[in-house]
Amino acid sequence: MRAAFIRGLIEAAKDDKRIHLLVGDVGYSLVEPFAREFPDRFVNVGIAEQNMIGIAMGLALCDRVVFVYSLANFPTLRCIEQIRNDVCYHNAGVKIVASGGGLSYGALGVTHHVTEDMGILRILPNMTVIAPGDPVESALATRSISKWLGPCYLRLAKTGDPTVYQTTPDFRIGRAIMVRDGSDVTLVATGGILWNAVKAAEQLSLWDIQCRVLSMHTLKPLDVDSVVAAARETGVVITIEEHTIIGGLGSAVSEVLAEHAGSDALFKRIGIADRFCSEVGSQAYLQKACSLSVEDIVDTVRSLVREKSLSRKRETRVIHSGKITVK
């Protein structure tokens, strides 16, 4: 996703001379093409992320569109006060880009796990939160937020992420993308875990379970209509995120379902439990440890489908001549 981001940013910067890029002494072998092409619009601030946000806010108030880029939690959790008071309060055009979303930097430990970011940033007024699902979405999201007014958070995975799309999707901020349709279950995924959701849907089709897969690349503003439609049309909604189940996609979708009358679908959150992921290993290893693997998603879906089937049988019971029969 990182390479797609920088390509998208260079394309956007060619069209808009206001676009600047600030980095926190990271991104070597990634950001050099931007620096070479736009040397007067590139600044390496150094390992001083809080200062970087302040500089970005000052540039934004001078009618610049400023992208700030760093790894994992460093441009977000380390800078939350500056993001809240400087960027969001002034509704400044600062686009915060974090590389290594979720458990991408698995072996580096909790300090490099990005597992609370979306929940924390989505509660800030004026902030738009986007987590593209693959490199195609990453490039499209970069172009889109370069034109979007106000603060944005772009959560990327890493280089080498698998590509979900074979053709260019219709990417619009605040509108989910239906990657595949299905009538039995809806899998709502955000970020790089989209690949696991798609693969799980493919496996579930072998069990005659047809899954609708939504890429909810925009966590805020959330596509409420797609969530409500999914609940009504499939009856089972499962959110999948490489993020704590508290405050992120699962929380956002549950809020929608709770507030809309008639949204009586079965609902389940798949994500990281309320704990630090202290295991050490590759991203795939940690996904398995957190029940986020393709196999874990398949098992969860099959369990809920069985529950849905039993629920329907209970609802069709009728009392006739003092006996209970099941249709």
Say yes or no to pLDDT of 314 above 90: no
Residue 36: CB atoms within 10 Å: 10
- List pLDDT tens digits, range 47-95: 999 999 999 999 999 999 999 999 989 999 999 999 999 999 999 999 9
Helix (H) or strand (E) holding 151: none
Domain count, the chain: 2
Q: How far apart are CA 102 and CA 114, in angstroms?
A: 5
- List pLDDT tens digits, range 91-136: 999 999 999 999 999 889 999 999 999 999 999 999 999 999 999 9
Same domain, 289 and 227: yes
Domain assignment present for residue 325? The answer is no
Same domain, 132 and 192: no
Same domain, 120 and 194: no
Domain assignment present for residue 83? The answer is yes
Same domain, 104 and 35: yes
Same domain, 139 and 230: no
Residue 16: CB atoms within 10 Å: 12
- List pLDDT tens digits, range 148-201: 999 999 999 886 789 999 999 999 999 999 999 999 999 999 999 999 999 999
Contacts of 184 (CB under 8 A, 6+ apart): 209, 210, 211, 234, 235, 236, 305
Indicate the pLDDT class of residue 326, thresholds 50, 70 and 90: very low
Domain assignment present for residue 8? The answer is yes
- List pLDDT tens digits, range 219-247: 999 999 999 999 999 999 999 999 999 99
- Average of pLDDT values for 297-307? 93
Same domain, 134 and 22: yes
pLDDT confidence of residue 315: 55
Residue 40: strand, helix, or coil: helix
pLDDT confidence of residue 215: 98
pLDDT confidence of residue 318: 44
Give pTM, 2 decimals. 0.93
Q: Tell me, what DSSP letter sits at residue 85?
A: I
Same domain, 189 and 283: yes
CATH code at position 294? 3.40.50.920
Structural domain containing residue 111: 2-155
Same domain, 244 and 275: yes
CATH code at position 51? 3.40.50.970
Pairing state of beta strands 152-155 and 94-99? parallel
Same domain, 7 and 151: yes
Q: How far apart are CA 12 and CA 154, in angstroms?
A: 15
